[in-house]
Amino acid sequence: MQLGTSLFLIAVGAIARFAVSDRINGVDLGMVGTILMCVGAIGLVLALLVFSRADAPIDREYRDPRL
């Protein structure tokens, strides 16, 4: 999951949790919104961790084994 997807899930979850007042039989929209926000937050943290590791310098210096 990338940054855009994570932010989208957080936004849709917040809308479902806080802005929608309709009722659907058998579906708790508040809980669905909370779940979407949690999944989006976890995806956001994982995406940021992956991006931060991608920027880490890689040691590519050649070392002659004969020295």
Q: Which two tokens stand for residue 54?
A: 């991608």
**What pLDDT is recorded for position 36?**
96
Determine the pLDDT at residue 38: 97
Q: Cβ contacts of residue 51 below 8 Å, gap of 6+?
A: 3
For residue 53, what pLDDT is reported? 74
pLDDT at residue 65 greater than cutoff 90: no
Domain locations in the chain as residue ranges? 3-51
Which pLDDT score is estimated for 54?
65
Grade residue 58 by pLDDT with cuts at 50, 70 and 90: low
Q: Which helix (H) or strand (E) holds 32?
A: helix 29-54
Which amino acid does the sequence have at 28?
A: D
pLDDT digit string (tens) for 2-36? 899 999 999 999 999 999 988 889 999 999 999 99
